[in-house]
């Protein structure tokens, strides 16, 4: 009884309700997270607010959160969306503990939904990638450079559109990208991509802007990149083409070629290996059978 009493006294002293701390959490994210990440958190937490009401923090229990989870599971959302929502809610309540608004998180025992096994990851296939590269190479030098950069670096689209001329180090075959807010990391590419970027830089309009990839009206935006990929995919007869599918494809290619999870995690810029394992190190039954044989599971 005593821990619960201390929790009530602390929350009553702060006078915080759910809507108050959601706003404060958004301000916290503003210092480090991208606009897209903040938007996703706002969407998820506002759904939680709609379900729970603008309640006092001490009144939120694991039972409340489990009822919310049942509702979103039965709302027609994909298991991946539900998984993301639960991860965000758990992170939000951990932050409340870190900030001293709660002594313990009611979401600590909220279980993440299991992701399905055997379902192909959301990666563009190698054959479809080759088709798109072929179409891009015979068309725009800019689009070809963009496609190669995404495919070889695993860069998020935000990192690509924010890439500056000074961030390129073509001699070292790398670039410094800014993703998820202003987090920076190096990404790497091969000689053919260096040549593709150089060809684009020879044609790139100046316009007094330091961004590498430009459109007719200035630096490309994420939606502009999406339209470029959509156009190429249509021409190539490819259905899966969103920018993140190239990131998935790089991870799978690295893992299939024997890279360890730690290396792949570093290349993708993940903060921990768990993310890499959950979303990228996933194999179909046929792939697991092949890998079992390749790595010595079958006795002679």
Residues classed as catalytic: 156, 180, 244, 247, 270, 280
Burial class (CB in 10 A: 0-12, 13-18, 19+), 296: exposed
93-98's contacts with Cβ under 8 Å and 24+ in sequence apart are 95/25, 95/28, 96/21, 96/57
Report the side by side order of strands in the sheet with 183-188.
Answer: 168-169, 174-179, 183-188
DSSP three-state, residue 179? strand
Contact 176, 231 (CB under 8 A): no
What residues form DSSP beta bridges with 211? 164
212-218's contacts with Cβ under 8 Å and 24+ in sequence apart are 212/163, 212/164, 212/165, 212/167, 212/168, 213/142, 213/145, 213/146, 213/160, 213/161, 213/163, 214/142
DSSP three-state, residue 240? coil
224-232's contacts with Cβ under 8 Å and 24+ in sequence apart are 224/161, 225/146, 225/157, 225/160, 225/161, 226/157, 228/143, 228/146, 229/132, 229/147, 232/132, 232/135, 232/136, 232/139, 232/143, 232/147
Contact 57, 16 (CB under 8 A): yes
What residues form DSSP beta bridges with 168? 175
Residues in the chain: 300
């Amino acid at each position: 009884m005593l821990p619960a009493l201390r929790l009530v006294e602390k929350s009553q002293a702060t006078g915080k309700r759910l809507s108050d701390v959601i706003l404060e959490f958004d301000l916290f994210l503003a210092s480090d997270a991208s606009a897209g990440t903040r938007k996703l958190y706002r969407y998820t937490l506002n759904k939680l607010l709609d379900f729970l009401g603008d309640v006092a923090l001490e009144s939120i229990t694991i039972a409340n959160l489990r009822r919310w989870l049942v509702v979103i599971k039965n709302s027609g959302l994909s298991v991946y969306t539900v998984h993301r929502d639960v991860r965000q809610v758990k992170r939000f309540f951990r932050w409340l503990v870190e900030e001293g608004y709660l002594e313990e998180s009611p979401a600590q025992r909220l279980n993440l939904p299991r992701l399905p096994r055997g379902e192909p990851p959301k990666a563009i296939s190698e054959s479809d990638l080759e088709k798109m590269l072929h179409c891009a190479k015979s068309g725009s030098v800019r689009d070809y450079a963009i496609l190669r950069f995404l495919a070889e670096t695993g860069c998020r689209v935000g990192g690509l559109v924010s890439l500056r001329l000074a961030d390129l180090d073509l001699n070292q075959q790398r670039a410094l990208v800014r993703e998820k807010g202003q987090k920076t990391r190096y990404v790497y590419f091969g000689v053919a991509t260096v040549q593709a970027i150089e060809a684009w830089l020879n044609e790139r309009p100046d316009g007094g802007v330091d961004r590498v990839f430009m459109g007719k009206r200035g630096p490309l935006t994420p939606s502009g990149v999406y339209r470029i990929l959509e156009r190429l995919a249509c021409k190539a007869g490819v259905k899966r083409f969103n920018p993140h599918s190239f990131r998935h494809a790089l991870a799978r290619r690295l893992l299939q070629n024997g890279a360890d999870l730690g290396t792949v995690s570093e290349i993708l810029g993940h903060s921990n290996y768990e993310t890499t394992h959950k979303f990228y190190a996933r194999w179909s039954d046929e792939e697991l059978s092949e890998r079992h044989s390749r790595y010595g599971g079958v006795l002679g």
